[in-house]
Amino acid sequence: MLNSERRPSMAERRPSFFSPGPDGSLQSTSLLVPHLAGIEDPLPETTPEQVDVVIAGTGLIESILSAALAWQGSTVLHIDSNNYYGDTWATMTIDQLKNWTTLVNDKSSETRFYKDAKLYVSGLVSQGKFKSKNFGIDLSPKILFAQSDLLSVLIKSRVHQYLEFQSLSNFHTFENDNFERLTNSKQEIFTNQTLPLMTKRNLMRFIKFVFEWEKNTEVWEPYADQPLASFLVDKFKLEKPQVFELIFSIGMCRNLNTRTPEGLARIRRFLTSFDVYGPFPVLYSKYGGPGELSQGFCRSAAVAGATYKLNHKLVSYDPNSQTAVFEDGSRVRVTEKIVASPTQHPPNSGNIPPQKYEVHRLTCVVEKDCLQWFSEGENAAMVVFPPDSLKTGNTETVQVAILGSGAEVCEPGTSIWYFSTTQEGPRGDLDLDAALEAMIASILRESSEIPDDDELVQINPDGVSLVNSVKLGKSFKELVSKEQINFIMKLYYTQYTSTPPFDVVTPNLFDLNKSDKYMPGASDNGILYTSLPSGEVSYDEAITAAKLLYEKIVGSDDDFFDLDFENDEPDSKNNNKTMGNYDESAIADDDDDDDDIRMMDAEPVEFAGEMEI
């Protein structure tokens, strides 16, 4: 906490929002949201002249912040210079991506947040076989762990009611030129006949440890500065396949340097998320990831009274008069703070934090449903290429999220492959290409039983990859002529961020705008900059960052989404349950306090056993 004494929050200065307690104190009561909040008198047609907070950029961090502030009682003007929600977290149609690529590559604009965007779009889109608007492509794809801060905030704020979530249980690791499905539950470890007894025992011992690793400091502290791999080998006698699985598939770490405490936290994240909502650790939202979540939080903020204006660009901010000026000539007085995503900085800005971390991305839409990668009834899978598993001898992992049309992000018969790596420089793209090649080879192999051979697949300059029929021999020729992977879209880009891929967001990230550091003449003195999405596969950074920013503005994060909605829906008894109530015991123990099954009321449950995979 920065301030030793908490100053009254903006909500507290607005007593109408509260019912005072018996002693007149408002401090300890959580914000009770009255009936019909958000359905009020008509709002004015002009933007306010004075607000508590201006937020520029509708990315996920800013949107969470906006909703938190609005429900706390602050007046918020939330703008975005784009005509869409989401900023660098947006979910886009193919046509929107075309515009985005053009902008990123525009040499005249200073683009220090993206580089080298290369977009290929198949003629089938302009010919109308595929419709641009039927695709929802994430600029920063993320997955949501069932046991995570964001999920509890989604529930507490009820933003989850705007969204639809699906499960993801398939994690594949690429090993020895082959894809192994992850052994990710205790049950599977026990039933896995291929593991030697000793390995099973060691693995179980580790899993038991990792749930409570923080308490058992004596076990790991000597390894606090060492890579997790050494710890796993020395302390638990685990062998390479298990070590890799734990670090890269379960921990989703980017490289072998991940240190022990951080790695353990990541492994536990996965294991405690398992069985919270069912036999899967991860969820994702339909219609798009962070872009959808951003819209949900913005809507929530609007319900709480925030004013929204897209296509509205910040031109300057004067910290002395506390006035923000916009491109259309309008201005607003800011009583508390002005916050901006780095991408929304005013011209002639001088205080943008350095974005020193690089993430390379390759996003493809392919004409293949990829059902073989998904669990029954699911529409997504993760694939991990650990270090040195690709022909490039990669040192960083390549992570791939595959999303199918059931997630409503692409047309039937197609799927989206999101590749990413934190490998910097030109090698990053080479690793992505190698991973793509391995994926294609595997898909073709599985669908046509073509012999295993790397060189069978060639990618033409137009983005179409073909199997080399000469190498296959005569007997396969017929098959091969049918087998190819068509790319509907293919997009390479490098993004920059101030958040390292696997560290937590550190508070000093937002300390760069101290008044003593004001740049003379800069247009953005006094603006608090947010952070851009990192190379981390999960949403974990978003709540951390939003909370830190909230604390900077309000003085404390005590009442961050501290709200309690009156009168739950009559047909659900457990609405206020937050994920914080569930710890590892949800996995290990019988948890029978959830006897009423809401879905049973609505519709009989059947198991869809007929699905072909």
Task: Please report, as residue ranges, which positions from 367 to 396 form the binding site for another protein (by CB under 8 A).
Answer: 376-378
Nearer to another protein, 359 or 407 (CB): 407
According to CB under 8 A, which one of 7, 568, 583, 613 is a site residue for another protein?
568
**By the 8 A CB rule, do 81 and 111 touch?**
no
Angle of the 228-236 helix axis to the 197-211 helix axis, nearest 10? 120
**Interaction between residue 40 and another protein (CB under 8 A):** yes
**By the 8 A CB rule, do 487 and 464 touch?**
yes
**Interaction between residue 298 and another protein (CB under 8 A):** yes
**Interaction between residue 197 and another protein (CB under 8 A):** no
- Would you give the distance in Å from CA 209 to the centre of its chain? 28
According to CB under 8 A, which one of 155, 366, 488, 546 is a site residue for another protein?
155
**By the 8 A CB rule, do 70 and 301 touch?**
yes
According to CB under 8 A, which one of 196, 470, 567, 612 is a site residue for another protein?
567
Residues 160-179 close enough to bind another protein by CB under 8 A: 160-162, 164-167
**Interaction between residue 300 and another protein (CB under 8 A):** yes
**By the 8 A CB rule, do 361 and 501 touch?**
no
Residues 64-93 close enough to bind another protein by CB under 8 A: 71, 85
Taking the C-alpha atoms of residue 231 and residue 235, their distance in angstroms, rounded to an integer, is 6
**By the 8 A CB rule, do 399 and 537 touch?**
yes
**Interaction between residue 54 and another protein (CB under 8 A):** no
What is the H or E stretch that residue 56 is in?
strand 50-56
Nearer to another protein, 468 or 576 (CB): 576
First to last CA, the chain: 52
Tokens of 454: 């790397």
The set of residues, in sequence order, having a beta carbon less than 8 Å from that of 488 and lying 6+ positions away, is 94, 121, 122, 124, 125, 130, 135, 365, 366, 367, 414
Nearer to another protein, 275 or 524 (CB): 275
CB of 611 to another protein, least distance (A): 8
**Interaction between residue 275 and another protein (CB under 8 A):** yes
Which residues are 419's β-sheet partners?
362, 400
**Interaction between residue 579 and another protein (CB under 8 A):** yes
Nearer to another protein, 53 or 586 (CB): 586
Q: Binding marks (x or -) toward another protein, 301..330, rule CB under 8 A?
A: -xxxx-xxxxxx------------------
Phi-psi sector, 496: left (phi>0), alpha (psi -120 to 50), beta: beta
Nearer to another protein, 38 or 393 (CB): 38
Taking the C-alpha atoms of residue 29 and residue 21, their distance in angstroms, rounded to an integer, is 8
The DSSP code for 537 is S
According to CB under 8 A, which one of 287, 318, 323, 427 is a site residue for another protein?
287
**Interaction between residue 17 and another protein (CB under 8 A):** no
**By the 8 A CB rule, do 164 and 136 touch?**
no
CB of 32 to another protein, least distance (A): 13
**Interaction between residue 143 and another protein (CB under 8 A):** no
CB of 26 to another protein, least distance (A): 21
**Interaction between residue 594 and another protein (CB under 8 A):** yes
CB of 65 to another protein, least distance (A): 16
According to CB under 8 A, which one of 32, 575, 583, 613 is a site residue for another protein?
575
**By the 8 A CB rule, do 542 and 150 touch?**
yes
Nearer to another protein, 239 or 584 (CB): 584
Nearer to another protein, 309 or 477 (CB): 309
Residues 98-117 close enough to bind another protein by CB under 8 A: none
State the Cα angle at 302 between 579 and 33, rounded to 5°. 55
The set of residues, in sequence order, having a beta carbon less than 8 Å from that of 505 and lying 6+ positions away, is 499, 531, 541, 544, 545, 548
